[in-house]
Amino acid sequence: MRLSPIRFIVLGAALSASGALGCQDAADGGSTAAPPRAAPVDAADVHLRTTDGAIALGNLDAQVRGMEHLAGQGPRGPEARRQLVDLLSARAQYRGGIEDRARALALAEALVAAAPDDPRARLARAAARSGLHAFRAAMDDVERAAALDAPADDVELARAGLLQSLGAYDEALAIRHARAERAPTTESLGALASLLAERGESAAASATFARAHAAYRDVAPFPVAWLLFEEGLMLMRHGELERAQALFAAAHARLPGYAAAQCHLAEVEAALGHTERAIALLEPLAAAGEDPDPAAQLARILAEHGDAARAATWRARAAARYELLLARYPDAFADHGTEFFLAAGADPARALTLARHNLGVRQSAGAYALLLDAAEAAGDSAAACGVADDAAGATAPSMQSVRSRAAALCG
């Protein structure tokens, strides 16, 4: 089976906070137990032959340009615009382009305005809204598309991603398991592995990531890089830094323009003491300017290593960009803003305000864990007590870890 990289990318866009926007990672609140030792990266990845990553990204850029040309042409226009929404979302997923997300949403809004009863337009807008963390509005579009007789498989796929993003892990898991059992493809297994990792089921996630790699039969590098990146995130969150470094490096090598992989690789390199390597990875991303996360990471690393002047420059640049994006897309950047003000931005009170906003957007383990980080930094035990109450009935291991930590901070 030849797997469309666009379909796989849109799938990944509505997953956990790690992959949709920017390259900072909101903690997922997962179990602190280390995942089981897996096969080395080269055993899982190096033997997969895929298109050169730079060529693949260049082809994606060419597809965007071609579809932009078709989007304004007669009867082919609406379908071209729907495909352009997917292509822009795909490029944003890997290149980290915030303006591509905004363009995708504007196009999708126009599609729905022109044909409000077209289920394809509704699903396109759901995907675009999800890319900017408007998860509940996206779910409204999915349910409307279902009522308009959209293909059941497309509805199910979109619904599962949104449920996961919202923290409805049990409901998402039922769909993900059923899809993987019905058709164990790289797409279905990768989605299941990512959800298991976010739930804190590390052993099952590791095994499922391996199955997803083994099922791959295409040459596009996007799905392989995404799988490596997602597993790297799981390992990084558990403190398995050397293993995470190997996976992020493999993702970056497979797809050199993958901004999130490059940024997380830099974060791990810095944590391992490889400061110059981390700086070299971050500087080109920070200089590009659209995404403030690399500049924020760079400011933090430089400050920690005594380069106050350069740290201040990058901190100011990141702060200005965060303020602009928080004003424009508050739901999408509340989590990233929280992380900035907890670290380089040095404003715990502001971080707590943003963390509360983020929790209103989605009740995921990561959102709760980020609120606990902010509450601890701000010395607000009442906020931690609220998290303990909210997580009382949760079944996912990651949420149980959140509850335990919240209870400890609540006192």
User: Quick one: pLDDT band at residue 332, thresholds 50, 70, 90?
Assistant: very high
b/e per residue, 159-170, with b = 16+ CB within 10 A? bbbbbbbbbbbe
| Token pair recorded at residue 387 | 């998290």
CATH architecture for segment(s) 1-272: Alpha Horseshoe (1.25)
| pLDDT over 70 at 15, yes or no | no
Better-predicted residue by pLDDT, 64 or 7: 64
Write down the residue that tokens 């059992």 correspond to: 181
Asked if 244 contacts 236 with a C-beta cutoff of 8 angstroms, the reply is: yes
d(CA 241, CA 270): 10
DSSP string, 2-38: PPPHHHHHHHHHTSSHHHHSSS--------SSPPPP-
For residue 281, the 8-state DSSP code is H
User: Quick one: pLDDT band at residue 101, thresholds 50, 70, 90?
Assistant: very high
| pLDDT over 90 at 36, yes or no | no
Asked if 134 contacts 125 with a C-beta cutoff of 8 angstroms, the reply is: no
In this predicted model, what pLDDT tens digit does every residue of 198-217 receive, in sequence order?
999 999 999 999 999 999 98
| pLDDT over 60 at 32, yes or no | no
Domain limits of the chain? 1-272
DSSP string, 239-269: T-HHHHHHHHHHHHHHSTT-HHHHHHHHHHH
Contacts of 336 (CB under 8 A, 6+ apart): 21, 22, 24, 26, 292, 293, 322, 325
d(CA 183, CA 177): 10
Asked if 37 contacts 240 with a C-beta cutoff of 8 angstroms, the reply is: no
Global pTM?
0.90
Orientation of helix 5-13 relative to helix 77-95, angle to 10°: 70
Average pLDDT over residues 146-173: 96
d(CA 366, CA 188): 22
Average pLDDT over residues 154-180: 96
In this predicted model, what pLDDT tens digit does every residue of 216-268 receive, in sequence order?
989 999 999 999 999 999 999 999 999 999 999 999 999 999 999 999 999 99
